[in-house]
């Protein structure tokens, strides 16, 4: 077949797969936001059939034949740079997908929705035993997937690769082994200060949902500036999902005792949404219309959440909003204390509520447990005890219940093993991007407090979003910041910031 026809064909398949993927994303979004509970059984089958359709499209022999013809070096070198990228990226993805049988995909997707529901019930009832048999089955699915795809090196590499392409246990372990003692040391320094010893919450009482909603509705259009392309809803676990190139949605949750968490949650998800919405339209409905990795995606949410929204400069304007939204509750609260509370360091039980210093320790815990589960060193039934033991050892706190411990995250119930490490990678990347951005944008931190986000958004678009999935995450960081993943840069960012706050 002529190259032109092959190209046309592979673009058509990508587009169809992408549109069906959008429909599946809507099924997923709806499941988390508005679906009546009893819809779950049909829903899991609906998701399964769409996954099956996409999988069948991707592993179809006709597509594979077209890709093989296009991958011949004589053909490849004559393509435009964009077509060449599409062909090589798609070839790689298809090659991987062709290793997984359709039946596995269908069974897995069906099980995924049910496993998610069981996790919800287990969490509500605070009983790990309800979830345990499903988690065991999920791990079996994961091991089966590893067998199918079988990337070189550690079995866990196959799982990691789905979220952070090219990342391996061999690379990741030393990163975490370096980071862990640094964080523990920093935490110790902070805990030794007077400031730490006397820190206590100044935001007290109840903060009604409407007030929190208003603050959420105020900040999110500052980041997502274009109208009618996004929306925000509520869900148990906040997330962002794109249902088309002009329709990205995210969720938040409200806790009337902790108004900062819904605020930072909204900012976090806005950072994700901004990335998706800024992906180049020219790559729409191709494999390039994506981030190169979950870690890089997370760098965007973490930049807005940690670096922008917890900055001293921004705390000013947020303080004003809080006083406006909660005049009674904010009575007598000082700006200085508000800023401090926004950056409280305190070992705690829940990952999504953790501060910048302890956050990565929560990740390292999960990474080590996942590794032990996959290697078979740890049994599911022993997971809660091991979780609690390591929490105590690393953070000095012990969950009183499963819901506050091992059941807190949705990830394992969705089969997202290998996902957690990307949160740490993104957090590190964010600090590197910030260091570079400071050099490129004069008076950057002052801009945070003036809500002058446009130059920041443009900078992120230029250096990160506009790349789509054309080069690896680490190469984007290297090209932008002069160096790839850099634990030292991250630790230095933390030390500088928290030294100033805690005065150790």
Instruction: Report the site for its own copies in 432-491 (rule: CB under 8 A).
Output: none
Q: In whole angstroms, how close is the CB of 192 to its own copies at the nearest point?
A: 49
Q: Which stretch binds its own copies (CB under 8 A): 119-127, 130-138, 242-250, 400-408?
A: 242-250
Q: Which stretch binds its own copies (CB under 8 A): 180-188, 202-210, 227-235, 479-487?
A: 227-235
Q: Which stretch binds its own copies (CB under 8 A): 224-232, 291-299, 430-438, 454-462?
A: 224-232
Q: What is the DSSP letter of 252?
A: E
Residue 105 in the binding site for its own copies (CB under 8 A) = no
Among 76, 100, 184, 229, binds its own copies (CB under 8 A): 229
Q: Which long-range contacts (CB under 8 A, 24 or more apart) does 53-56 make?
A: 53/20, 54/17, 54/20, 54/21, 54/24, 55/97, 55/100, 55/102, 55/105, 56/102
Q: In whole angstroms, how close is the CB of 454 to its own copies at the nearest point?
A: 20
b/e per residue 381-395 (b: at least 16 CB within 10 A)? eebbebbbebbeebb
Nearer to its own copies, 151 or 214 (CB): 214
* Cα–Cα distance list, 2 to 13, 68, 74, 81, 446 (Å): 17, 13, 13, 19, 57
Residue 12 in the binding site for its own copies (CB under 8 A) = no
Nearer to its own copies, 88 or 235 (CB): 235
> Contacts with its own copies: how many residues (CB under 8 A)?
36
Residue 19 in the binding site for its own copies (CB under 8 A) = yes
Residue 252 in the binding site for its own copies (CB under 8 A) = no
Q: Quote the tokens at residue 464.
A: 């990160």
Residue 223 in the binding site for its own copies (CB under 8 A) = no
Nearer to its own copies, 154 or 249 (CB): 249
Residue 217 in the binding site for its own copies (CB under 8 A) = no
Helix (H) or strand (E) holding 251: strand 248-252
Q: In whole angstroms, how close is the CB of 74 to its own copies at the nearest point?
A: 34
DSSP-derived 3-state class of residue 373: helix
Nearer to its own copies, 46 or 427 (CB): 46
How far is residue 475's CA from residue 327's CA, in Å, rounded to a whole number?
47
DSSP-derived 3-state class of residue 249: strand
Sorted by sequence, the CB contacts under 8 Å of residue 100 that are 6+ apart come out as: 55, 59, 145, 148, 149
Q: In whole angstroms, how close is the CB of 31 to its own copies at the nearest point?
A: 10
Q: Which stretch binds its own copies (CB under 8 A): 19-27, 113-121, 131-139, 369-377?
A: 19-27
- State the maximum Cα–Cα separation within the chain, in Å, rounded to a whole number: 75
In the residue annotation, 117 being an active-site residue is answered as no
Which of 269, 298, 305, 312 is the catalytic position?
269
The three state secondary structure string of 202-245 is: CCCCCCCHHHHHHHHHHHHHHHCCCCCCEEEEECCCCCEEECCC
Q: Which stretch binds its own copies (CB under 8 A): 27-35, 153-161, 313-321, 471-479?
A: 27-35
Among 32, 43, 134, 419, binds its own copies (CB under 8 A): 43
Nearer to its own copies, 48 or 94 (CB): 48
CB 470 within 8 A of CB 288: yes
* Phi/psi of residue 468, nearest 5 degrees: 55, -145
Interface residues toward its own copies, by CB under 8 A: 15-16, 19-20, 22-24, 26-27, 30, 34-39, 41-43, 45-46, 49-50, 53, 226, 228-231, 233, 243-247, 249
Residues taking part in catalysis: 269
């Amino acid at each position: 077949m002529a190259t032109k026809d092959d190209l046309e064909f592979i673009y058509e398949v990508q587009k169809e797969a992408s549109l069906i993927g959008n429909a599946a994303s809507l099924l997923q979004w709806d499941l988390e936001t508005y679906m009546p509970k009893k819809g779950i059984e049909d829903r899991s089958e609906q998701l399964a059939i769409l996954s099956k359709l996409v999988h069948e499209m991707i592993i179809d022999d006709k597509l594979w034949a077209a890709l093989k013809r296009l991958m011949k070096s004589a053909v490849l070198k004559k393509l435009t740079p964009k077509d060449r990228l599409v062909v090589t990226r798609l070839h790689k993805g298809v090659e991987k997908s062709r290793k997984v049988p359709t039946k596995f995909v269908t069974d897995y997707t069906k099980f995924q929705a049910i496993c998610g529901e069981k996790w919800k019930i287990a969490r509500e009832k605070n009983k790990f035993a309800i979830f345990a048999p499903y988690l065991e089955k999920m791990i079996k699915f994961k091991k089966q997937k590893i067998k199918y795809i079988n990337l070189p090196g550690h079995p866990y590499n196959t799982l990691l690769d789905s979220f952070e392409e090219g990342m391996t246990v061999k690379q990741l372990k030393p990163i975490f082994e370096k980071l862990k003692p640094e964080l523990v040391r920093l935490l110790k320094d902070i805990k030794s200060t007077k400031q730490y010893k006397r820190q206590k919450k100044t935001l007290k009482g109840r903060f009604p949902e409407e007030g929190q909603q208003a603050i959420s509705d105020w900040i999110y259009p500052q980041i997502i500036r274009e109208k009618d392309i996004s929306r925000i809803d509520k869900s148990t676990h906040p997330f962002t999902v794109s249902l088309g190139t002009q329709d990205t949605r995210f969720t938040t949750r409200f806790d009337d005792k902790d108004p900062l968490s819904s605020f930072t949650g909204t900012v976090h998800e806005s950072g994700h949404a901004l990335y998706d919405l800024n992906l180049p339209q020219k790559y729409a409905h191709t494999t390039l219309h994506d981030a190169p990795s979950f870690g890089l995606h997370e760098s965007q949410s973490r930049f807005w959440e940690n670096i922008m929204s917890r900055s001293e400069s921004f705390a000013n304007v947020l303080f004003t909003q809080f006083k406006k939204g909660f005049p009674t509750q904010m009575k007598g609260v000082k700006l200085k204390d508000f800023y401090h509370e926004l950056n409280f360091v305190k070992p705690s039980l829940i990952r999504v509520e953790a501060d910048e210093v302890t956050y990565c320790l929560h990740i390292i815990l999960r990474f080590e447990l996942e590794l032990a589960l996959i290697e078979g060193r740890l049994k599911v039934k022993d997971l809660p005890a091991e979780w609690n033991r390591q929490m105590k050892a690393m953070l000095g706190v012990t969950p009183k219940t499963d819901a506050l411990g091992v059941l807190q995250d949705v990830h394992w119930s969705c089969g997202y093993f290998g996902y957690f490490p990307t949160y740490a990678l993104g957090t590190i990347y964010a600090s590197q991007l910030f260091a570079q951005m400071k050099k490129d944008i004069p008076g950057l931190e002052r801009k945070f407090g003036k809500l002058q986000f446009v130059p920041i958004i443009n900078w992120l678009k230029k250096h990160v979003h506009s790349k789509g999935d054309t080069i690896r995450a680490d190469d984007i960081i290297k090209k932008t910041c002069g160096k790839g993943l850099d634990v030292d840069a991250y630790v230095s960012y933390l030390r500088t910031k928290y030294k100033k706050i805690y005065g150790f």
